[in-house]
Structure 1
Amino acid sequence: MAIKRIVAFGDSITQGWDGNRGVTPWTAEVSKRLSVPVDNQAVGGSTMSGDNRDHNFVQQVQNTNLSGYDVATIAFGTNDFAYYNSSLSAVKSALTNGIDTIKSKNPHIKMIGILPIQTWKGATNLDTRNGAGYSQNDLLAAERSIYQQYGIAVLDWRDAPLVTAANHSRALGDGIVHPTAETYVKMGDRIAKFIKDNTATPPAPAPKPAPQQDIKPITATGQFMFEIYMDIYTDSGVLHYVHNADRNFSLDIEFSLPFDNTSDRSVGEITIWNMSQISFNRIHEGNRVVVNAGYHGDTGIIFDGQIYKTTVPTREGGDLNYTLRVVEGTDYRKLKHVSLTFGEGTDATTIINKIVQVSGINLNFVSLGRNYVFKEGYTVDGSPFDALSDVADQTRSALFYRRGQLTLRWLYDAEVTGNFTLDSKSGLISSPTMERRDDDWIESDDDDGQGRYEYSADSILNYRITTGEHVHLVSEFVDVWAAVLSGEHTFDGTNPTTTLELGVK
């Protein structure tokens, strides 16, 4: 088969994390070696089973429009074994459910199973049993058996281990489970070869990808191909809503969904026209909502959060208007208070990791502007989330929700997660304007990590644009690399638009 596009599902080992900071994941090496795009949908902390209710295999699949993919890779299990003690039956059931969901969404997609690499989290070898009473060998055998039942090729690292008892302290960034940048390259090389060997024909040769990924040019015709896929997770099942060119199944959906670089949960609004009254009555405050949007064959997540308020339906002419007010991410401010004391000279990384461990906050810890040292120590006596936000400020980093995932990141780090050009050919629809920030940022004590300048711009809606993405902004008078600070995805029924504020270091 000629592979045109690959989607990767997984946890932090697929997402790209060395135990201390974000690194280039193995998916980048696969893309390079096979000369095809690889869309990385992995989220750190994800489980195969549903034990991590916020991030797991089935949810990743449900949140992804699979219509444009030829190959899907599946790589879960580490968190089930080492952090959640998920039962083997739950893991096998979730793997079966996820595979069935993929097949239902795209019957022609080729799946590739990737077993977890060995972990030393609570284990000294592959036969050490976890709190649920099974070993890594048991987990790997269980996953492998499910893949084989479906006729899915499965990569088993035990056949030729990259990480062993002899080298794990060097091959893993934390010495426990997360690969170093060098190991990620080796993994990508192995996985690329495995994909190539297990597809009927290798992908046609293509030029080596440029270091930046340009957004597809979108014309006026493209706007008529705009699509929305929306899922509402009610107590009685998932409600699926679609807006596309197929008028037999499409509903009119409008939205205003902001994003920013603060720790406050962004509040948005979604309007669904002519939803059935029965369906509306199933929707309640607290239900999870996931919105994917984009253009035919190229959609992605723009919102993941909860409903915080439903409104009374209104009628305009012969049409019913159902409006939902939604809030992004998980509310960690409601967590129970904690008491922690750190001694003199404790650095920010140590404090952050401890707060996350004690509180259970699901944090995507990417990078820090500086690893601030608290010379007089640090005390937490109250909300763990507020303490996390305070420590983030000291490191000149942003604590924010990125498509529903709480993220800690210095916005100008080198770990590019969305590196592309935005110009008139790729969706820019207004001339960027610039505003210089107060010069106080120059003083080291006042440097908040937000940058010297801010640019404002408007684009045709692009799901890739969200907080922390790095954008090459180009117009007649502007040519800068900038980091996305905030913005808003909107659709009024006619015009899909993304407004964005960008910062320049």
Structure 2
Amino acid sequence: MSNELFKRTVIIKTNNNITLRNDDYKITFDVPFDDDMDMNTAEVTVCNLTDSTINKLRRNDTITIEAGYHTDTGIICSGRIANVSTKHDGIDKVTTIEIKDGPDLASKSLTNKTYASGTRASYILRDLANTLGLAIAKFQIPNDVVYWEGYVVDGNITDAMENVAMHCGIGCYIHKSKLYIRPITSGDDLNFTLSVETGMLGSPEAFSESTEVTEEDLKYVSRSRMKVVYGKWYIMENGYKVNCLLQHRFQVASIVNLKARGINARCRVKRGTHSFDSDFKTELEMVEV
């Protein structure tokens, strides 16, 4: 492998003109990402910042983490500062920064918001996204379900959006503070094959994931995506858990070719974590497409 792989580069920037580099400070991080509407929390630690710099790290400031090797770097986290705390660990003063990758939507709800008979899923999703004030990065609905009996939102808005998306066979998630609505089999093709030669660590581990479908949801969800187990219907996804050297290009919905002993599959990244401590790596869960 190129020697550049061993020149680990981390750059943290805020809108308050703070720039922190791992050449100057000891930095660690954990940056999770996934394809749902729940907000993710990343955590960064930086050793021995001055009090002046710590005081400039303010809640709700925007912050990014850029990581990679030498000049091959990219943004792996973009969000807002949620909390800053500092403690002493031996001779080091360790500052921990918590980062939220989107707005806090957990408390956003509606009471008996009713959509009329004949309303399409696309209208509901756009309307609910506008209610939440979310910027839409992608909006693709090949199977735009029609609710001939109408549709009622009574409770958490993000739960309702995920439910409508499931009916259409699409994903609905927030990534880097933007909303993505598109088919679960589509994504951003990296034209990249992940293998031992390109940074894979160890061997892929197969996994299977299921989501139970209610009687009401069965009116809309394609049965080709489902399996019956003991009389109940489940949406099934099969894929692999993989570890590799940190790769900033991997994010939610990245399309990657996976090649290992007995495996030659085209996959979509469902969730993962970029991390830096003693190791500089990316952990992925990807499903076959």
Q: Normalised by the size of structure 1, how large is the TM-score?
A: 0.50
* Offset, 1:253: 1.1
Residues 1:456 and 2:245 are matched in the alignment:
no
* Offset, 1:369: 6.6
Amino acid at match of 2:247: N
Matched residue, 1:265: 39
SS of 1:265's equivalent? coil
Residues 1:499 and 2:283 are matched in the alignment:
yes
Label 1:361 to 1:404 Cα distance change in 2 as closer, same or farther (>3 A): closer
Distance 1:232 1:369 in 2: 38
Q: 1:243 aligns with which of 6, 19, 22?
A: 22
Matched residue, 1:315: 89
Within 5 A, what are the aligned runs for 1:469-480? Answer: 469-480=254-265
Distance 1:389 1:312 in 2: 37
Distance 2:152 2:104 in 1: 22
Label 1:339 to 1:268 Cα distance change in 2 as closer, same or farther (>3 A): same
Contact 2:189/2:256 (8 A) holds in 1: no
Residues 1:227 and 2:12 are matched in the alignment:
no
Matched residue, 2:192: 420
Distance 2:74 2:43 in 1: 18
Matched residue, 2:168: 395
* Offset, 1:332: 3.4
Distance 1:459 1:298 in 2: 16
Within 5 A, what are the aligned runs for 1:194-205? Answer: none
Q: 1:326 aligns with which of 99, 110, 114?
A: 99
Residues 1:429 and 2:201 are matched in the alignment:
yes
Residues 1:364 and 2:143 are matched in the alignment:
no
Distance 1:344 1:483 in 2: 35
Instruction: Percent identity, please.
Output: 24
Matched residue, 1:377: 150
Amino acid at match of 1:397: I
Deviates more, 1:352-361 or 1:423-432: 352-361
Distance 2:155 2:211 in 1: 34
Distance 2:274 2:211 in 1: 31
Contact 1:419/1:469 (8 A) holds in 2: no
1:97-119 superposed Cα distances (whole Å, 9 cap, x missing partner)? xxxxxxxxxxxxxxxxxxxxxxx
Query: Going by fraction, where is helix more abundant, 1 or 2?
Result: 1
Distance 2:25 2:241 in 1: 32
Amino acid at match of 2:76: I
* Offset, 1:334: 5.0
Contact 1:223/1:496 (8 A) holds in 2: no
Distance 1:361 1:340 in 2: 19
Higher normalized contact order (CA 8 Å, seq sep 6+, divided by chain length): 2
Distance 2:103 2:255 in 1: 25
SS of 1:238's equivalent? coil
Distance 2:233 2:28 in 1: 40
Distance 1:362 1:388 in 2: 15
Task: Give the alignment's Cα RMSD to 1 decimal.
Answer: 2.6
Distance 1:439 1:280 in 2: 44
Amino acid at match of 1:241: L
Residue ranges of structure 2 left out of the alignment (5+ in a row): 213-224
* Offset, 1:379: 2.5
Within 5 A, what are the aligned runs for 1:263-342? Answer: 263-316=37-90, 318-333=91-106, 337=110, 340-342=113-115
Amino acid at match of 1:330: P
SS of 1:349's equivalent? helix
Amino acid at match of 2:179: L
Q: Normalised by the size of structure 2, how large is the TM-score?
A: 0.84
Distance 2:252 2:205 in 1: 19
Query: Going by fraction, where is strand more abundant, 1 or 2?
Result: 2
Label 1:299 to 1:338 Cα distance change in 2 as closer, same or farther (>3 A): farther
1:19-42 superposed Cα distances (whole Å, 9 cap, x missing partner)? xxxxxxxxxxxxxxxxxxxxxxxx
Distance 2:37 2:240 in 1: 21
Amino acid at match of 1:364: A
Amino acid at match of 2:29: F
Distance 1:436 1:425 in 2: 26
Residues 1:482 and 2:267 are matched in the alignment:
yes
Label 1:251 to 1:374 Cα distance change in 2 as closer, same or farther (>3 A): same
SS of 2:165's equivalent? helix
Deviates more, 1:332-341 or 1:322-331: 332-341
Q: 2:181 aligns with which of 408, 421, 424?
A: 408
Contact 2:239/2:285 (8 A) holds in 1: yes
Distance 1:398 1:319 in 2: 44
Within 5 A, what are the aligned runs for 1:209-220? Answer: 218-219=1-2
Label 1:349 to 1:289 Cα distance change in 2 as closer, same or farther (>3 A): same
SS of 1:376's equivalent? coil
Distance 1:290 1:497 in 2: 18
Distance 1:259 1:446 in 2: 28
